[in-house]
Amino acid sequence: MQDDWKISDRLTLNIGLRYEYDQPFYDPRHHEGYFNTSIDKFVVGISQQESPIKRDIPQIQYNPNLQPGIWNPDRNNWAPRVGFAYRFGQGTVVRGGYGIFYSKPQGNELQFK
């Protein structure tokens, strides 16, 4: 939300606040996994009984309680905005602004955190 306030004929202020929820990418069927470098295994989000591979593979760790997504949801992205425009004369206007911005990273960067 944001709004403009015309303080005088020469000065206008713009004030706002933005909220962004950063939800991780995830598979709604919970068929996801990752390679855990600390144990040198591929961790999958299903149980061994659900696996289409019916034999035991030592390089796979089954975890049906695996958290969906590859990062934790970020729910505190409040981003204030403030701006102004001041007219000095007929052809001269000075404008300025400030804001906090959040960008959602692509999935590829997150595999190496």
Dump pLDDT digits (tens) for 24-61.
878 887 778 888 889 999 988 888 888 888 788 889 99
Query: What is the pTM for the complete model shown?
Result: 0.58
- Where do the structural domains in the chain lie, given as residue ranges? 1-23+71-113, 26-69
| Span 101-110, average pLDDT | 66
- What pLDDT does 112 receive? 53
- What pLDDT does 106 receive? 61
- What pLDDT does 108 receive? 57
Torsion sign across C-alpha atoms 26, 30, 31, 36 = positive
pLDDT band at 107 (very low <50, low <70, confident <90, very high): low
- Spatial contact of 44 and 33, defined as CB atoms under 8 Å apart: yes
